[in-house]
Chain A
Amino acid sequence: MLVTKENKVPDAKADAKVVSRGDGSTLSWSVNDGVFELALHREPCNELGLASLVELEKFAEALYGMQAEAHALIIYSQMKPGFCAGADLRELYQRSQAMEKTEAAAGVRDFLERIHRVLNMIDASPLTTIAALHGVTFGGGFELALACDLMIADKMARFCFPELRLGLIPGFGGIPRLKRDLGNAVVRDLLLTGRSFNATKAQQIGLVSQVVGEGEALRAARATAMQLGKFDRATAAAAKKFIKPIPEEELRREIDLFCELFERPAVQAGLRKFVESTDALPYLP
């Protein structure tokens, strides 16, 4: 990933002048006027595989290194179908087929540990973080959005945890973060039925803070980020730390449970079925 930094002005208002950016094959980021913007742009719908993970790790390092110079982070997608369709299941299947069972299991655990580190850094960042959502926000994509402080969704956004269909649970921190934000009955409905739901429903259950017109999520997120810039950064960071604890113990248990489930033959069968599917609705339960 190419990372450049220009026009850094080292004074108290430095954030208003900083322009930094990083460009990768799956994502790009920039900082302007104290606002980080992370744009996802991997075909077809930002499926999260190893290449995305490596670039997310580099982004997380940049975020950590520059967090004193910014007050907000917006994560959005440049891909038309949506924000993110989740983990790259084709890559997961192909890699697990090419390895011995124990090696594949170790690879899955390593991937999960690494993506958890990235999402925990976003979750715990002192910046106020906003997911600007449209279209498909499924599985790991939903989990990325859940790591953010605010979700702003256009009315065509759609959410889903389809993992049970594969014999798995969400593995990128989805359940602990959903439990942190919602009542357990709603979590059970979303997880155990695996049904998808729209932005209006997401707002009704308390996940999404604003529903906006089609194609307007990023604009609304930028307007929100501008408003956040009016507040004292340290106060906002302290408030966030108080309100939004990281559910560390449950996140660890989620990794363990995912890895335990992953080793069952039913999961490989489910992945193969997904990869080979010609079903018109392969994403759905």
Chain B
Amino acid sequence: MTTAEQTLDEILTLAAAHFKMPREKLHPDDDFFKTLGINSLQTLDLLTKLENHFRVELPDYELQGISDFRTLAGKIQARL
């Protein structure tokens, strides 16, 4: 079973690869909108990437107000 820390690590790795950022520049408590410099359409891309990777559905209304990787990981972990 995937642990919360593994989930978080996979999110950071995926986000870094998708937005072509060095992995070491991303941290669990970063505001991912600011760190990744992404707009709304790119955020949807990230959401789809995460759903495909973890094979979960993430209703977007559950993600409203979430802007850091750690909280996002918690939402995904709850659906694994």
Give me the interface of A with B, judged by CB distance under 8 Å.
Answer: 44-45, 81-82, 85, 135-136, 155-158, 193-198, 200-201, 279-285
In the complex, A201 Cα to B64 Cα: how many Å?
21
Pick out which of these stretches binds chain A: B4-12, B54-62, B71-79.
Answer: B54-62
Can you report 6 residue pairs joining A to B where beta carbons are below 8 Å apart?
A: A135-B41, A158-B44, A195-B61, A280-B39, A281-B43, A284-B40
Q: Are A280 and B43 in contact (CB under 8 A)?
A: yes
Expressed in whole angstroms, the Cα–Cα distance for A193 and B61 within the complex equals 9
Q: Please give 5 more A-B residue pairs, beta carbons under 8 A apart, in addition to A85-B41, A198-B48, A198-B52.
A: A135-B44, A155-B52, A156-B49, A195-B60, A280-B33
- Give min CB distance, B50 to chain A, whole Å: 10
List A contacts of B63 (CB < 8 A).
281
- Determine which of B38, B39, B60, B67 lies in contact with A284 in the assembled complex, contact meaning CB atoms within 8 Å: B60
A-B contact count (CB 8 A): 60
CB A216 to nearest CB in B, in angstroms, measures 14
Partner of A136, one of B41, B57, B61, B67: B41
Q: Which residue of B is nearest A279, CB measured? A: B40
- Chain A residues closer than 8 Å to B47, beta-carbon distance: 158, 196
**Taking the complex as formed, is B51 at the interface, i.e. its CB lies under 8 A from any CB of chain A?**
yes
When the two chains form their complex, are residues A198 and B41 in contact, meaning their CB atoms are under 8 A apart?
no
Write out the residue numbers on chain B whose beta carbons fall within 8 Å of the beta carbon of A194: 61
Q: Is the interface of A mostly helix, strand, loop or mixed?
A: loop
Shortest beta-carbon distance from A9 to chain B in Å: 43
State the CA gap A200–B55 with chains docked (Å).
Answer: 9
Judged by a CB distance under 8 angstroms, whether B45 is at the interface is yes
Q: Is the CB of B61 within 8 A of A284?
A: yes
A285 B44 Cβ-Cβ under 8 A: no
Residues of A within 8 A of B52 (CB): 155-156, 198, 200
Q: How large is the interface on B (under 10, 10 to 19, 20 to 34, 35 or more residues)?
A: 20 to 34
Q: Is the CB of A82 within 8 A of B61?
A: no
Q: Once bound together, how far apart are the Cα atoms of A82 and B41, in whole Å?
A: 9
**B44 in contact with A136 (CB, 8 Å):** yes
| CB of B2, distance to nearest CB on chain A (Å) | 19
CB distance from A219 to the nearest CB of B (A): 19
Chain B residues whose C-beta falls within 8 Å of the C-beta of A284 in the assembled complex: 40, 44, 60-61, 64
Q: What separation, in Å, do the CA atoms of A223 and B36 have in the docked complex?
A: 37
Q: Which of A200, A201, A283 contacts B40 (CB 8 A)?
A: A283
In the complex, chain B residues whose CB is within 8 Å of the CB of A280: 33, 38-40, 43, 67
Complex Cα distance, B49 from A154, in Å, reads: 12
Query: In whole angstroms, how far apart are the Cα atoms of A85 and B61 in the complex?
Result: 18
